[in-house]
Amino acid sequence: MAYTNALSAYRETRIRTASQGQLIIMLYDEAVKQLDKGLELIGLNESGKRDPARIEVVGKAIVKAQDIITELMVSLDFDQGGDIARNLFALYTWFNRELLEAHMGMDLVRITVVRDMINDLRGAWTRIAAKTSAEGRPSAGVNIAG
Separation in Å, CA 124 to CA 66, 69, 90, 134: 20, 16, 17, 15
Per-residue pLDDT at 32 exceeds 80: yes
pTM of the complete model: 0.77
Per-residue pLDDT at 55 exceeds 90: no
Q: Domain ranges in the chain?
A: 19-141
- pLDDT tens track for 105-122: 889 999 999 999 999 999
Could you tell me what percentage of the chain is helix, strand and coil, using 3-state DSSP and rounding each to the nearest 5?
Answer: 80, 0, 20
pLDDT score recorded for residue 123: 96
pLDDT score recorded for residue 11: 53
Q: Which CATH number fits domain 19-141: 2.60.40.1180, 1.10.287.70, 1.20.120.340, 1.10.3210.10?
A: 1.20.120.340
